Amino acid sequence: MNVTVTVNGAERSADVEPRMLLVDFIRQTLALTGTHQGCDTTHCGVCTVLLDGVPIKSCTMFAVQVDGRALTTVEGLKQNGQLSAIQQAFHQEHGLQCGFCTPAMMLVGTALLEENPNPTEEEVRWAISGNLCRCTGYMNIVKSIQAAGAMKSEEVSA
């Protein structure tokens, strides 16, 4: 079946089997390997991407389901060649250890900050509760997301 999807702002088309999972479509067909594959059982959340701005686990959707829709993967976070606020914040606050969960954490953080620009620690922890960090580096992940919120607020007021 033909699937046409807007990925990080650019339209991409491919012919896929209905049983192809979205995560495999992203990684293999589109060769965007920033989206990771972890447990493959809907638990760990490392395969999270944004579907029309909303975080979803791409191991638990078929590629054919997203025909005509818009995806954002970690590769789409940078803006005009510059790191986005969330990427800068993860860099500054050292929001990663091994980095495996990082793309998903940044995407979930991005979606959270769209809804709630200044989340409390509890709100951030709630938002990322569907994403596992096997390094257990949650402290700095939470700090990074909050720092990105503060950074974006400064940009707005500046």
Partner 1 sequence: MYPNKFDYLAPTSLDEALGILAEKGPAIKVLAGGQSLIPMMKLRLANPSALLDINRIPGLDSIGESNGHLTIGALVRHNHVLKSDLARRSNHTVASAAPWVSDPIVRNLGTVCGSLAHHDPEGDWASVMLAAGAEVVLKSTQGERVLPINDFCVDMFQTLCRTDELVTEVRVHKHTARGGGNYQKLERKVGDYATVGVATSLELDEHGRIAGAGIALTSVYAHNLKVGEAELLLKGKQPSAELFKEAGAIAAAACDPASDTRGSAAYKRHLVGVFTERGLTKSLEIAQGGQS
Which residues sit at the interface with partner 1, rule CB under 8 A?
1, 17-19, 21, 40-43, 45, 48, 54-57, 60-62, 64-65, 67, 108, 126-131
Rounded least distance, CB 127 to partner 1, Å? 6
CB of 40 to partner 1, least distance (A): 5
Nearer to partner 1 among residue 14 and residue 61 (C-beta) = 61
- Contacts of residue 52, defined as CB under 8 A and 6 or more positions apart, other chains included, come to 69, 70
Which residue's CB is nearer to partner 1, number 18 or number 94?
Answer: 18
41 or 82: CB nearest partner 1: 41
Q: Nearest distance from residue 13's CB to partner 1, in Å?
A: 17
- How many CB atoms sit inside 10 A of residue 142's CB? 23
- Between 3 and 91, CB nearer to partner 1: 3
The first and second tokens of residue 92, run together, are 């500054």
Q: Looking at beta carbons only, is 79 or 129 nearer to partner 1?
A: 129
